[in-house]
Amino acid sequence: MTDDTSGEHAATIRRVLVLAHMGRAEARLAAEQTVQQLHEAGLRPVLTEEDRRALADATNGQSMPPVDLLPADCELKDLELVMVLGGDGSILRAAELIRDVDVPLLGVNLGHVGFLAESERAGLGETVEAVVGGRYTVEDRMALDVAVWQEGKKVLHTWALNEASIEKGDREKMLEVVTEIDRRPISSFGCDGVILATPTGSTAYAFSAGGPVVWPEVEALLMVPLSAHALFSRPMVVAPTSMMAVEVLTRTDARGVLWCDGRRTVDLPPGSRIEVTRSPRPVSLARMHLTPFSERLVRKFELPTVGWRGPRGQVVDSGPPTTALPIVQPTYNQPTVEGQRIPVGREITPDLYDDADRQGGPATGGHSADDSAWDNSPATSSRPSSSAAGGGDGL
């Protein structure tokens, strides 16, 4: 569909990109429902050309709502939001797509744990309604800036939302490394690898490796050794301003490999140096619920809480576990609460809880099928996403 509008009217068009794993029937049905609901509400659904063809084939020739095509009819910068229908791997792929623009991601979980997702498949209709009504805030998540040096030359400059993992390249050999914080050596040892993670990634691969769970609003970086053959191999939490580095030692011929979010990779011959710092560009996630991270942690990992009685002298509310943000007049890419702007990354305060309690909101739940890889382009890899290790994200 070609947009024939211009001027002020064109600037007010609300475009929402819908991304899904079109190779799965459940994802196609969810995408079809989302596109239809967005169109009926007056928003402009956007699809990639490949996804539009897949959706048209799945509808067996039935008429589809008009959609904009990316990039023929609009650009990434023209989007208000990206709705990702899938698991954490799908959200990581979407984050890669919009890396260079300031557009938030909103995930609807069709996978297993779905730590990065904001809602579940059963609540898809309510999720679209919240998008239409502007009932969401935008939260910034720290990302990593990753540089690889070999023979004094920078051979790779990339990024990661969850983690940069340095792993051994040969199954039969340990990887010999020396770790470094703020240009000071910490320890050298043989290992299976070292994970350098964000708080968001603390519930992904780093979680499976025994690293700490870090609340997403905490500004910190994590270094987690993998099966280190050393007396000191504890995970470390360092300042967000620190530089973490790992060097592959030359005393053996064991090679390594770097994976960023399980998506971007490069070989690490002996002598390679990996430097990781906080990226100046975060990843924006759309949030519809005021659920505390502690509750998300319990719900996503199905942690037992039998015997909990709550703080003394307070009545424990047995109502729904999540509350939706109140209805507001949407402002594009800058939602508001009760008519007030919410700066990106603003802390949710008790007054917002009170407002949301008065408004109420849908509770969502349920899990569905696995989120298998759906991008076989040469720029990516078939390695399972980092989200598969422990849930993908501290949401």
| Per-residue pLDDT at 56 | 87
pTM: 0.78
Kindly state the DSSP code that residue 60 receives in the 8-state scheme: T
The CATH number covering residue 172 comes to 2.60.200.30
**Domain CATH code at residue 43:** 3.40.50.10330
Establish if 136 belongs to a structural domain.
Answer: yes
Quick check: is 367 in a domain? no
User: Is 208 labelled as part of a ligand binding site?
Assistant: yes
205 contacts 181 by C-beta, under 8 angstroms: no
Instruction: Report the Cα 376 to chain-centroid distance in Å.
Output: 20
163 labelled as ligand-binding?
yes
Shared-domain flag, residues 96 and 165: no
Domains held by the chain: number: 2
Q: Are residues 39 and 120 in the same domain?
A: yes
Residue 344: burial class (beta carbons within 10 Å; 0-12, 13-18, 19+):
middle
Residues 37 and 124 in one domain: yes
Q: What is the pLDDT averaged over residues 362-381? A: 39
pLDDT digits (tens, 9 = 90+) for 336-363: 444 343 444 434 344 443 443 434 433 3
Domain that holds residue 150: 144-278
Given 95, 121, 141, which residue is the final one in a domain? 141
d(CA 305, CA 296): 13
Per-residue pLDDT tens digits for 37-82: 999 999 999 999 999 999 988 777 577 899 999 999 999 999 999 9
Do 105 and 184 share a structural domain? no
CA 299 to chain centre: 18
The answer on 270 and 188 residing in a single domain is: yes
Confidence of residue 11 (pLDDT cuts 50, 70, 90): low
Residue among 51, 68, 78, 88 flagged as catalytic: 88
Q: Does residue 173 have a known ligand-binding role? A: yes
Averaged pLDDT of the chain: 83
Look at the block and give the residue holding tokens 């002598």: 271
* pLDDT exceeds cutoff 60 at 4: no
Could you give the CA distance from residue 179 to residue 170 in angstroms, rounded to a whole number? 20
Residue 193 lies in a domain: yes
Categorize the per-residue pLDDT at 317 as very low, low, confident or very high, splitting at 50, 70 and 90.
Answer: low
Q: From 113, 141, 169, give the residue that closes a domain.
A: 141
Please report whether residue 345 resides in a domain.
no
Alpha helices in 149-278 (DSSP H): 205-208
Domain boundary among 232, 257, 278: 278
Same domain, 31 and 73: yes
Q: Is residue 354 part of a domain?
A: no
Residue 23 counted as an annotated binding residue: no
Are residues 263 and 228 located together in one domain of the fold? Answer: yes
* Residue 10 is assigned to a structural domain of this protein: no
Is 283 among the domain residues? no
Higher per-residue pLDDT: 275 or 372 = 275
343 prior amide bond cis, ω within 30: no
pLDDT at 9 over 50: no
- Written as six digits, the tokens of 119 are 């809602």
User: Cα dist. 322→78, 97, 200, 295, 353 in Å?
Assistant: 31, 30, 20, 9, 10
| In-domain check, residue 332 | no
Question: Catalytic residue at 253?
Answer: no
pLDDT at 3: 43
| Three-class DSSP labels, 234-265 | CCEEECCCCCEEEEECCCCCCCEEEEECCCEE
123 and 191 share a domain? no
Alpha-carbon gap, residue 145 to 165, rounded angstroms: 13
Q: Is 207 annotated as a binding residue?
A: yes
Q: What is the pLDDT of residue 111?
A: 80
Most confident of 74-83, 110-119, 321-330: 74-83
The single-letter code of the amino acid at 97 is L
Q: Do 77 and 200 have their domain in common? A: no
Q: Is the pLDDT of residue 87 over 70?
A: yes
47-50: Cβ within 8 A, 24+ apart:
47/17, 47/18, 48/19, 50/22
* Residues whose CB falls within 8 Å of the CB of residue 276, separated by 6 or more in sequence, listed in order: 144, 145, 146, 147, 164, 196, 221, 243, 244, 245
Angle between helices 49-58 and 25-40 (to 10 degrees): 100
